[in-house]
């Protein structure tokens, strides 16, 4: 098909972080661009993911800190909250970003917007709502979704996911969360703060199993301090059925069958790439783990690229944004680029926050790397005394020459602290050089300096 016969130069399928930036950059490059969205424009992050969740987490953590203010001389025993007002604050935060439901944004940039589920009918054509659209190039950025586990009775009850949990008009009295990914842990703490009795059920032997063991053990310990939150690791849910106004979950743990009653259930376990878009008709190879691409994000069809969660890799908005920029460049230019994930931070917005970058200690062991580590508790720096916060640490991993390979920070504002360590890893700054950098007195960042000095 000649280029002049294509409806568009580029069609982007998915308007989330993996597709949005590429569509905008392509339009600025004088390309004829269309973007297809199956649900709400803007995708996960601004509509029901990062923005609304973190807005509520911020409010929840303010509430929690204020309730604990007596030790500082603050009278807060009568403190309360209004959940509809909290949900209203969430909506304000979403509106302020301007990215949620942002169909007009694309139209303003000369991008045609198409609402509906896209299916490839040939390598250069898709069908949306029974209408066919053609393009010279495509970017697939359809993201991922929570896999519905095979549990007896699940199809007979109403359950939620992190995408729908805030349609509840008040916190449930009790909530069973299936899964222990960062979203699950964040929402578990959020609802626990607002008084919900939360039970986390995970098939893994420890929560946050993708992180170093010290992180898992500390966070499990901190979460368990709240008498409204309990964690069931090594647990397999056998069935969930209606039991009057509640639900009854039967599970297997430690070789014995047990039962609990709960009000609501949230599925937040495995996420699977959204690939049911007719990839076979396009000649694009994929597996259950996601779409297969080259290092330049090209699929098995050279004119079709992919970015974001549909790749089955890094489930982080900032990774999807990086891939979207790289994909746009490679669709527009002859000299291709490759995404560099070296210093990509991984963040869990609990209190305290968990942030990590680079290799974990387990990664290093698997690669048979000779390493040395340094773990400094927050209590080692003066900030812990003035804040009365000692639960957390900074862990650095370096090779035998002292070059940094990875790090984990469990502390307030860990999501901000982690970037200096990421910069050190990316640009081969040694632990010695990091230790020599003056860090502000009475900052949590001092723990980074101390950990680097000990290396």
Residues 242-269: tens digit of each pLDDT: 999 999 999 999 999 999 999 999 999 8
Whole-prediction pTM? 0.94
3 state SS of 208: coil
Q: Residue 311: which of 292, 284, 283 has the closest Cα?
A: 292
Residue 21 and residue 41: Cα distance in Å, rounded?
13
Check whether 10 has a pLDDT greater than 80: yes
Query: Quick one: pLDDT at residue 270?
Result: 86
Using the predicted structure, report yes or no on whether residue 370 has a pLDDT greater than 60: yes
Query: What pLDDT score was predicted for residue 261?
Result: 97
Angle between helices 446-454 and 414-426 (to 10 degrees): 40
Looking up tokens 């204020």 gives 66
pLDDT band at 1 (very low <50, low <70, confident <90, very high): very low
| Mean predicted confidence (pLDDT) in 35-49 | 95
Whether 438 has a pLDDT exceeding 80, the answer reads yes
| CA gap 379, 310 in Å, rounded | 41
pLDDT of 4: 65
Given a contact cutoff of 8 angstroms between Cβ atoms, the answer to whether 173 and 150 are in contact is no
Say if CB 35 and CB 12 are below 8 A apart.
yes
Kindly state the tokens that stand for 281: 């008709």
Mean predicted confidence (pLDDT) in 103-117: 95
* C-alpha closest to that of 309 among 25, 49, 23, 34: 49
Place of tokens 């376990």: 269
CA atoms of 332 and 314, how far apart (whole Å) = 24
Q: Positive or negative, the Cα torsion across 437, 443, 448, 450?
A: positive
**CA–CA gap between residue 156 and residue 153 (Å, rounded):** 5
Q: Indicate if the pLDDT at residue 99 is higher than 90.
A: no
The rounded distance, in Å, linking the Cα atoms of 408 and 211 is 8
- Cβ-count burial of 360 within 10 angstroms (0-12 exposed, 13-18 middle, 19+ buried)? buried
* Element containing residue 51 per DSSP (H, E): helix 50-67
Neighbours of 160 (CB within 10 A): 19
State pLDDT tens for residues 196-230.
Answer: 999 999 999 999 988 999 999 999 999 989 889 99
Mean pLDDT of 150-178: 96
Q: Is-contact 204 217, C-beta < 8 A?
A: no
**Residue of 189, 223, 211, 239 lying closest to 56 (CA atoms):** 189
Nearest to 311 by CA among 284, 329, 335, 333: 284
> How much of the chain exceeds pLDDT 90, in percent?
93
100 falls in which pLDDT band (50, 70, 90)?
confident
Residue 434 has pLDDT above 90, yes or no: yes
The encoded tokens of residue 372 equal 């040395």
Q: At what angle do helices 213-224 and 182-193 cross, to 10 degrees?
A: 20
Which of 50, 74, 46, 45 lies closest to 62 in space, CA to CA?
74
pLDDT band at residue 3, thresholds of 50, 70 and 90? low
Treating both helix axes as pointing N-terminal to C-terminal, what angle do 317-332 and 17-28 enclose, rounded to 10 degrees? 30
Three-state SS for 295? Answer: coil
User: Do the Cβ atoms of 13 and 118 come closer than 8 Å?
Assistant: yes
Give the rounded percent of residues in the chain with a pLDDT score beyond 70.
99
Strand ranges, E, within 263-331: 264-267, 271-273, 286-287, 290-291, 304-306
369-389 in b/e burial notation, b at 16+ Cβ within 10 A? eebebbebbbebbebbeeeeb
* Contact call for residues 21 and 321 (beta carbons, < 8 A): yes
Cis link prior to 356 (omega < 30° from 0)?
no
| Phi and psi based region of residue 207 (left: phi greater than 0; alpha: psi -120 to 50; beta: remaining) | beta
3-state secondary structure of 55: helix
């Amino acid at each position: 098909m000649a280029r002049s016969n294509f409806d568009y130069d580029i069609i982007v399928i998915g308007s989330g972080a993996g597709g949005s930036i590429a569509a905008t950059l392509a339009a600025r490059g004088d390309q004829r661009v269309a973007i297809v969205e199956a649900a709400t424009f803007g995708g996960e992050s601004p509509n029901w993911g990062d923005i609304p969740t973190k807005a509520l987490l911020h409010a929840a953590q303010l509430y929690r800190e204020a309730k604990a203010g007596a030790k500082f001389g603050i009278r807060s025993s009568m403190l309360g909250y209004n959940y509809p007002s909290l949900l209203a604050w969430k909506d304000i935060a979403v509106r302020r970003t301007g990215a949620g439901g942002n169909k007009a944004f694309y139209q303003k940039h000369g991008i045609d917007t198409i609402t509906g589920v896209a299916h490839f009918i040939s390598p250069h054509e898709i069908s949306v709502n029974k209408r066919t659209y053609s393009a010279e190039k495509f970017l697939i950025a359809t993201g991922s979704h929570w896999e519905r586990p095979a549990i007896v009775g699940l199809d007979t009850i109403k359950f939620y996911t992190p995408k729908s949990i805030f349609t509840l008009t008040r916190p449930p009295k009790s909530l069973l969360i299936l899964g222990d990914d960062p979203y699950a842990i964040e929402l578990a703490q959020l609802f626990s703060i607002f008084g919900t009795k939360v039970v986390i059920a995970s098939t893994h032997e420890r929560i946050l199993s993708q992180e170093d063991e010290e992180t898992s053990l500390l966070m499990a310990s901190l979460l368990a301090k709240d008498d409204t939150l309990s964690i069931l690791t090594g647990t397999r849910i056998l069935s969930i059925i209606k039991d009057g106004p509640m639900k009854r979950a039967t599970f297997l743990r430690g070789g014995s069958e047990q039962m609990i009653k709960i009000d609501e259930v949230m599925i937040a376990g495995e996420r699977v790439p959204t690939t049911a878009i007719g990839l076979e008709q396009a000649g694009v190879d994929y597996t259950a783990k996601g779409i297969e691409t080259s290092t330049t994000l090209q699929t098995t069809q050279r004119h079709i690229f992919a970015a974001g969660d549909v790749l089955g890799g890094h489930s982080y908005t900032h990774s999807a944004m990086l891939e979207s920029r790289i994909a746009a460049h490679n669709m527009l230019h002859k000299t291709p680029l490759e995404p560099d994930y070296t210093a990509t931070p991984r963040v869990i917005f609990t209190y305290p926050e968990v942030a990590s970058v680079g290799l974990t200690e387990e990664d290093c062991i698997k690669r048979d790397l000779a390493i040395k580590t340094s773990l400094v508790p927050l209590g080692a720096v003066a900030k812990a005394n003035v804040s009365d916060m000692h639960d957390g640490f900074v862990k650095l991993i370096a090779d035998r020459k002292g070059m940094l390979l990875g790090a984990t920070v469990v502390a307030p504002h860990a999501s901000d602290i982690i970037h200096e360590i990421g910069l050190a890893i990316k640009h081969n700054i040694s632990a010695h050089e990091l230790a020599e950098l003056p860090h502000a007195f009475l900052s949590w960042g001092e723990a980074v300096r101390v950990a680097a000095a000990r290396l």
